[in-house]
Amino acid sequence: MGRSYPASSFRVPISMESMRDNRRWLGIVLLIVASSAAAPAAESPRARPSRLAGRVPLAVAQTQGSEAAPRDAELRETARRGIAALMYGDPDGAIEIFQQIQKADPQSPLGYLFEADATWWTIYLTTGNLVDPDVFDVARSSTSPYDSHFEDMVNAAIRKANARVHAHQDEARNYLYEGMAYGLKGRFYGLRDNDLPTARAGKKMRALLLTALKMDPSLEDAYLGLGIYNYFVDTLPTIVKMLKFLIGLPAGGRELGLEQLRRATDKGDLVRDEAKFYLAKDFSRRSEAEFDESLELFQQLAHAYPDNMLWTLLSGSLEIRLGRAEQGEDLYREALAKTARTKSEVGQALHREARKALLRRHPNDRFGD
């Protein structure tokens, strides 16, 4: 079960149990929403059927024979459609679109980076505590069926981005993609409670994103990873001091982190909606207690992506925290009803979370099950 973390818990000596919680919180230091890498056909994972993906045509030409690969701008246009599918709560549909990018340009990191991101969301949605506003540490188990696939995708993204950097091909953007991939690695390790790999991935992510911005200040997507890093490193002093000693982890800054997250939300290209999610989660922490701002951001996501009951559940949890229990429970019931007959694994997981949230408040009711 998730724990809440009051502001005072970050300013006093901690027990071994709370130290473990803080270590696992550090995974969020690395919550970076990424983009994934394109790979050769031999590396491509199995296709996953989705009604949504079938309605989203590829926006780039497929490479054939000696034809030139699509430009990164064209690939990003297709990636935005995959991101929309992901934000609608359809990771499988998103993955189909990202695999089209891989086929269009097998040497681009973009498709694999986003496929890793979509796979992380699948892990989050099927194993996480999705309702508690305080909880970032979402893993209920040490493994999931998607772990090896995630690692394949994120490692392919890193290889391909690094190869393009060394070939002096669009270096700034490929530093960005490589940094995003390391952020995803840290995010994954954090879920698995692997402290040192989490911190090392975050440190590498930060360096790559700063390099990307130095070369091209217009790469606004870099501010998502930097914002999350700076915010959480500054608000988790006990464990961070230990990691600073072990690996030379650079310092962060809470206010700078929030400012950078807002910038990614307002000006980001590929990460705008995910930045909004992370900013809302920050505001929902008791140490921030900006519950109205958090609710507004989740409501914006719910309005933009009404089929994704994650946003409905999160909005409901904030309504309850703000003392509006009836409105919050109505949102839980809406999510429960709309996921009742779903056959997708993600939809079924959301249904379980909605039912659990209602049972917490009304333990004597059955809510349809």
Report pLDDT digits (tens) over 226-260.
999 999 888 876 777 777 778 888 989 999 999 99
| Residue 141 and residue 204 in one domain | yes
289, 305, 331 - which closes a domain: 289
What pLDDT is recorded for position 237?
Answer: 66
| Residue 89 and residue 115 in one domain | yes
| Residue 214 and residue 237 in one domain | yes
What pLDDT is recorded for position 95?
Answer: 98
Residues 273, 274, 275: CA angle, nearest 5 degrees: 90
What pLDDT is recorded for position 60?
Answer: 43
Q: Are 10 and 202 in contact, with CB atoms under 8 Å apart?
A: no
What are the tens digits of pLDDT across the range 129-158? 888 766 655 566 678 899 999 999 999 999
What pLDDT is recorded for position 185?
Answer: 93
Cα separation, 272 vs 276, whole angstroms? 6
| Residue 271 and residue 188 in one domain | yes
Segments forming the whole domain that contains residue 314: 290-369
Flag whether pLDDT at 171 surpasses 70. Answer: yes
Task: Tell me how far the alpha carbon of residue 36 is from its chain's centroid.
Answer: 12
The domain total for the chain is 2
What pLDDT is recorded for position 229?
Answer: 92
Cα separation, 109 vs 147, whole angstroms? 19
What pLDDT is recorded for position 129?
Answer: 81
Residues 324, 330, 332: CA angle, nearest 5 degrees: 105
Flag whether pLDDT at 332 surpasses 90. Answer: yes
Tokens at residue 141, please? 């188990």
Closest CA to 144 of 171, 160, 120, 180: 120
The mean pLDDT of 171-199, rounded to a whole number, is 89
CA atoms in the 13 A half-sphere facing the CB of 318: 23
Closest CA to 242 of 8, 20, 7: 20
What pLDDT is recorded for position 36?
Answer: 36
Where is pLDDT greater, at 11 or 202? Answer: 202
What are the tens digits of pLDDT across the range 268-312? 999 999 999 999 999 999 889 999 999 999 999 999 999 999 999
What pLDDT is recorded for position 1?
Answer: 39
- pTM of the entire predicted model: 0.81
What pLDDT is recorded for position 368?
Answer: 67
| Residue 113 and residue 195 in one domain | yes
| Residue 109 and residue 62 in one domain | yes
Q: Give 31's DSSP letter.
A: -
The mean pLDDT of 362-368, rounded to a whole number, is 79
| Residue 157 and residue 44 in one domain | yes
Q: Is residue 307 domain-resident?
A: yes
Q: Is residue 264 domain-resident?
A: yes
| Residue 119 and residue 253 in one domain | yes
Rounded to 10 degrees, the C-alpha dihedral 248/230/228/284 comes to 130
Q: For the domain that residue 335 is a member of, what is the CATH number?
A: 1.25.40
What pLDDT is recorded for position 142?
Answer: 73
Average pLDDT, the chain: 82
What are the tens digits of pLDDT across the range 43-101? 333 334 344 444 444 444 443 433 556 799 999 999 999 999 999 999 999 999 999 99
Q: How far is CA 311 from CA 34, 87, 335, 359, in A?
A: 20, 9, 9, 19
Where is pLDDT greater, at 138 or 354? Answer: 354
Cα separation, 160 vs 39, whole angstroms? 8
What pLDDT is recorded for position 306?
Answer: 97
Flag whether pLDDT at 30 surpasses 80. Answer: no
Identity at 33, one-letter amino acid code: V
Confidence of residue 31 (pLDDT cuts 50, 70, 90): very low
259, 289, 319 - which closes a domain: 289
